[in-house]
Amino acid sequence: EAGVTQFPSHSVIEKGQTVTLRCDPISGHDNLYWYRRVMGKEIKFLLHFVKESKQDESGMPNNRFLAERTGGTYSTLKVQPAELEDSGVYFCASSQRAISEKLFFGSGTQLSVL
Amino acid sequence: LAKTTQPISMDSYEGQEVNITCSHNNIATNDYITWYQQFPSQGPRFIIQGYKTKVTNEVASLFIPADRKSSTLSLPRVSLSDTAVYYCLVGPWGAYNTDKLIFGTGTRLQVFP
């Protein structure tokens, strides 16, 4: 069974540019989550999809971040325009049921904004 | 919110048993305790989850006292490959209150040969 895959694994962009991160959850997992770790800080929740609907996006830092999950399959997280403080590792996770069920994480996307 | 407190770091040697304790004094009745392991350049990986008493799987054991205000992750006979950060999370079962799962700083376990 394939795990959660994220693309790209690394991205280096300049301030003001746009970057789109992609997450492919485990097939059949309705729940999809985005987290991120900013340098030296803890892993923070960003948002949660149930199928194609945003269940909770209270962790999204501002309106420069846009997450979508068309058709309830893969998800994208777009940062536009990127700022220096957006640098960090962005993790995607999926689960079959609710949040306290086992989460399966991807390896993350290391984003560097210069 | 059930905040957790763990030691920042721990050291051990190969073959020893490692016990990492997590404090969660304000755990709620419907909260479960979950532990994750994270290696460098990887996402967290589920280890074990429990509600009370003891849970054991092929990787670890989880001990939860009757008052549930703390829990202990036990790793038997650690090896070098167990060097990682271990996170204790407390959150409700079956709810979509995702912000109640807080990773915290975790415990950085270093295993020496």
Confidence of residue B102 (pLDDT cuts 50, 70, 90): confident
Give the per-residue pLDDT at B101: 63
Does B99 score more than 70 pLDDT? no
Contact A91 B44 (CB under 8 A): yes
What CATH number does the domain containing B52 carry?
2.60.40.10
CB B38 within 8 A of CB B88: no
Average pLDDT, chain A: 92
pLDDT level of residue A1 (50, 70, 90 thresholds): low
Q: Is the pLDDT of residue B100 over 50?
A: no
For residue B110, give the amino acid letter: Q
Any chain A CB within 8 A of the CB of B12? no
Q: Which of residues 15-34 of A touch B (CB under 8 A)?
A: 33
CATH of span A5-113: 2.60.40.10
CB B112 within 8 A of CB B15: no
The domains of chain A are located at 5-113
Please report whether residue B100 resides in a domain: yes
Considering only CA atoms, which of A48, A49, A38, A51 is closest in space to residue A90?
A38
**For residue B2, is it within any domain?**
no
Residue B3 lies in a domain: no
Looking at the 3D structure of chain B, how many domains does it have? 1
pLDDT at site A100: 56
Q: Quick one: closest CA in A to B105, which residue? A: A42
Q: Order the strands of the A19-24 sheet from edge to edge.
A: A5-7, A19-24, A75-79, A65-68
- Closest CB to B43 among A42, A59, A106: A106
- In the 8-state DSSP scheme, what is residue A9? S
Model pLDDT for residues A25-73, shown as the tens digit of each residue: 999 898 899 999 998 788 998 999 989 999 889 899 999 999 999 888 9
Q: What is the mean pLDDT of residues B8-32?
A: 94
pLDDT in tens, B31-82: 889 999 999 889 999 999 999 999 999 999 999 999 999 999 999 999 999 9
**Domain containing B85: what range?**
9-112
**Who contacts A88 (Cβ-Cβ below 8 Å, separation ≥6)?**
A36, A37, A38, A39, A41, A110, A111
